[in-house]
Amino acid sequence: MPLRIVFMGTPEFSVPTLRAIAEAGHEVVAVYTQPPRPAGRRGLELTPSPVQREAERLGVEVRSPVSLKGQAEQAAFAALKADAAVVVAYGLLLPQAILEGTRLGAWNGHASLLPRWRGAAPIQRAIMAGDGETGMMVMKMDAGLDTGPVALSRRVGIGPNETAGELHDRLMQVGAPLMVEALAALEAGTLALEPQSDEGVIYARKIDKAETRVDWRLPAGELHNRIRGLSPFPGAWCEMTLGGRAERLKILRSALSEGTGGPGQVIDGNLTVACGSGAVRITELQRAGGRPATAQEFLRGAKMEEGTILT
């Protein structure tokens, strides 16, 4: 018998899982998502989340509370009489009453190999740390931050030049069938749980704006990982002088290279920049207000002399 599911998610990352659950024949009785946010160039238009748009396409009731702490919201959740809640990048903390508000509990799709990278930014942090692999996990949620027992997992390799955006898109496609598999076992009563290890716990703290400015004093390998871990959003950035004025440039892609020079010094005509040790070659970047461009496209429109210093 199909399960009655409450789905809780907000960004594009959550959409494939919501769609897969519905296509598997489960009854999605309600979708919880973050309220519409201001968008557009002037921030005047309220834009629904990707999950809200998908829920409306599926004809499922959408709820967007700003908090789940109130008794009225908790009672409304319990009144759905759901078998389980599925949570994928929702963005709100779930009080105990919500965690216990369904017959079989709340199940989270998390983008790391727990207990490594618990928390808000597991995809970015894995790349920034130079990890060679990550994965998707389905865990039963408890009161802690990503501390619940794990039901299923899938390991995923990380390419040496892969960006956070690319890994994000691969993981969301891995997570959808994994959650459907978990729900099938949950429905059959065969889903086994394994407690997380107390060793190897690392927290994936939210990306701070101060981390996004390029520090050319870092070793090339560390800087390359930071650039790709922050791409495409929020993006690593630096400043260079163009046309006699300082301009901010977002660096979207880089490659490890060879060469020496002072940190931040352009050492050839291909946008290779010296680091604290080694060098990186900028392969894709974006000027303020412009579109992403390859290094070759950028250099056709901007004179960049060898010896230029990026800050």
- Residue 41 pLDDT: 61
At residue 291, the 3 state secondary structure works out as coil
Strands 84-88 and 4-9: parallel
Mean pLDDT score, 207-217: 95
Q: Is 80 exceeded by the pLDDT of residue 233?
A: yes
Task: 91-100: list long-range contacts, CB under 8 Å, 24+ apart.
Answer: 91/10, 91/34, 92/8, 92/32, 92/34, 92/65, 92/67, 92/68, 93/68, 94/8, 94/68, 94/141, 95/68, 95/69, 96/143, 98/68, 98/74, 99/141, 99/142, 99/143
Class of domain 209-301: alpha beta
Q: Is 90 exceeded by the pLDDT of residue 186?
A: yes
CA nearest to 161, candidates 252, 228, 258: 228
User: Per DSSP, what are the bridge partners of residue 202?
Assistant: 116
Check if the beta carbon of residue 216 is closer than 8 Å to that of residue 227.
no
Q: Is 70 exceeded by the pLDDT of residue 153?
A: yes
Q: How far apart are CA 92 and CA 304, in angstroms?
A: 46
CATH number of 4-203: 3.40.50.170
User: Does 115 belong to an annotated binding site?
Assistant: yes
Q: Is 80 exceeded by the pLDDT of residue 244?
A: no
Q: In which band, very low, low, confident or very high, does the pLDDT at 243 lie, cut at 50, 70 and 90?
A: confident
The predicted-structure confidence for 56-91, as pLDDT tens digits, reads as follows 999 999 999 999 999 999 999 999 999 999 999 999
Q: In which band, very low, low, confident or very high, does the pLDDT at 306 lie, cut at 50, 70 and 90?
A: confident
Q: Is 90 exceeded by the pLDDT of residue 39?
A: no
Q: How far apart are CA 38 and CA 32, in angstroms?
A: 19
Q: Is 90 exceeded by the pLDDT of residue 119?
A: yes
Amino acid identity at 235: G
Q: How far apart are CA 236 and CA 250, in angstroms?
A: 6
User: Does 242 belong to an annotated binding site?
Assistant: no
Domain extent listing, the chain:
4-203, 209-301
Strands 272-274 and 236-242: unpaired
Q: Tell me the percentage of the chain whose pLDDT exceeds 90.
A: 87
Q: Tell me the percentage of the chain whose pLDDT exceeds 70.
A: 98
Mean pLDDT score, 278-291: 94
Q: In which band, very low, low, confident or very high, does the pLDDT at 42 lie, cut at 50, 70 and 90?
A: low
**Chain-wide mean pLDDT for the chain?**
95
User: Does 219 belong to an annotated binding site?
Assistant: no
Q: In which band, very low, low, confident or very high, does the pLDDT at 305 lie, cut at 50, 70 and 90?
A: confident
Domains 4-203 and 209-301 share a fold: no
Name residues whose C-beta falls within 8 Å of residue 131's C-beta, 6 or more positions apart in sequence.
Answer: 116, 158
- Residue 240 pLDDT: 87
- Residue 244: its H or E element: none
Amino acid identity at 288: A
- Residue 245 pLDDT: 81
- Residue 173 pLDDT: 98
At residue 7, the 3 state secondary structure works out as strand
pTM for the full predicted model: 0.94
Q: In which band, very low, low, confident or very high, does the pLDDT at 188 lie, cut at 50, 70 and 90?
A: very high
- Residue 21: its H or E element: helix 15-23
- Residue 310 pLDDT: 92
User: Does 112 belong to an annotated binding site?
Assistant: yes
Name residues whose C-beta falls within 8 Å of residue 213's C-beta, 6 or more positions apart in sequence.
Answer: 236, 237, 238
